[in-house]
Each structure stands twice: as structure tokens, then as C-alpha cells.
Structure 1
Amino acid sequence: TEEEQAALDQARYAKFVVKQEMQALEDAEAEAERERLAREKKRRDRIALVFIVFAALAALIATPVALNRILPNPGCPAGFYFGKLPNDFFWELKECQLCPIGTHSKFGSEGVSACYCSGGSYANASKCALCERGLWVPTGLGTNRSDCRPIAEHWRMGGGGENGGGGVCGFV
């Protein structure tokens, strides 16, 4: 019976040792899993940070272009006019075009009509450029030099001024 008791104690001790070893093994596995999850989280955080940085850079690059498309045309420098259609909001300085010879621009808005005749009258500036000094082109006529009329006739029709009275193009 002493032998039986010793064998029983030995069996209990062996069971206790096995249980301790299993617990140690489970703890080691749990620790390894925690470390793996921490590494995975760190990797995901790095990837997310890279995406955030790229998105921020893309936003910085795209913002001026987007604002250019949303905001109205700010106009061109004096002496130039905007060469695209008025409803095209995409504006760049390189799209500004020089006013025709014999004209100038005060505001640089859309179209050649933003160019004023050097003599002071306001009309289709492309016609202004065709006329020699002292001549004008009545509204509605073509753009040939033969359409130019003497300036005295221009004043008889009430043209002149920046509002383009008579819709003519005059030089003085």
C-alpha cells in the first residue's frame, strides 16, 4: 500500500507536470499569436500611411486643376483676350491670346470683343485690325478691307465710345 501510495503520488506528479507543460505550450502559442497580430497590424498601418501620403499628394496636385475647373475665368492680362468659349471654365494663362494689331484689351475677358479699337471705339476687334487709320467697319458687314468707311461717316451714325454705339470700329 505504501508502494501503491507512492505510485499514485508519482502519477499525480506526472499529471501535474504534463498539465504545466501544456499550459506553458498554450501560453507560448498565445504569445506567438499576439506577436503575429501586432506585426500584421503594424504592416497594415504602414500601408494605410503610404496610401494617406499618396492621397494627400494627389490632392495637393489636383486641387489647383479642380479649382481652375470650378472657379470662373479670372481673365487675361491687359492686351490679351481669352481664346476659349465663355462657358469653358478651364483657364490657363497660356490660353490667353494677343489682341489683333490696332487694338488693345482693358479687361482680358472672353472673345476678341474684349479687345478695343486703339482709336477708342468698341466693336469686333478683328474688324478693327483690318482698317487703316481713320476708317471704320459698320456692324454686320464682312471683314474685308473694302468694308472700311471714312471716319466722318462713323460719327454721323452716332458711333464711338466704349459701349460701341453703332457697333463700329473707329480710329482717330
Structure 2
Amino acid sequence: MFGIFKRKVDLSDLSKLTITDIKKLTKSTEPEECGKLLRKAAQEGSLDCQIFFSTACIAMMRDYDTANYPPNLEQDFITYTLMAAEQGDVGSQYNLGKHYIGKVDLSDGYLYEKDHENLKKSEFWYKKAAKQGDKNSVEAIKDLDSLFRMID
């Protein structure tokens, strides 16, 4: 009623920060301090913080043409999404697969070595997500198969 029973965010183990904690911190902490704290929590293993930053990066990347991304945006996306994907987050695994397939450029009809690397990375993450039952990843793998046949 008066806020006296509200639980404070426990900062003793940042790896355990949850989405509820993130919401509280964004409302009660200065933005710069909050960002540092949440980044540290992500690096210490908070899955919710990793997903929070991954999602924020996706939202920002949608606002820019690939060539005009702010410095480090794509790398931050990969860093935080990879952290979450390695912890088994199916959405992050799918998003990495989608990111890498989006980097493949077939505009001139050729598949270059870098494109092949991105296809392999995409396949790896889509397969991880598919093993967890992600239907979008299962469909994406079928599409990848046709691209790999193009290489052979």
C-alpha cells in the first residue's frame, strides 16, 4: 500500500536477477548506473539480463540500415544473444540463426566463403532451437538445406 512491503532488489548475486528485478531497477536507478549493473548481471550469467540486452539490440537494429548501425550494436547483439543461447534459451538460439542467415548475400548469384560460414552458423543455432521443439527453426532448416544443395 505504502511501499513498505516492497521487496528490494537483491544485488548480492547478480546472476540471479530476474525480469521483475530489471523492471524495478529501471524505475529506481539512474539509466547509466542501471545499464552498468544490468550488463554486469548479464556477464555474470543472468539469463533475463542477457535476453533483455539481446532484445534491446534487436529493436535498435530494426531502426537502422545494416550499414548504419551504431558502433558495437551488432557485436553487442551477438555477445548477449550468444550468452543466452548457450544457456539454452530457444528464442536466442533462433535469433542467432536468423541473424546469420540474414548476413548471407546472394545478390550476385554467388555464395562466397563468408556466406558459407554464416550459413553454417545459422544451421548450428537453428538445429539447437529445433531440438527444443522450435517450429520456426525446423522450417528454417528446411530452407537452409536448399541453400546447401546450391553449394554442392
Output the TM-score relative to the length of structure 2. 0.24
More strand by share: 1
- Give the greater-gyration-radius structure (CA): 1
More helix by share: 2
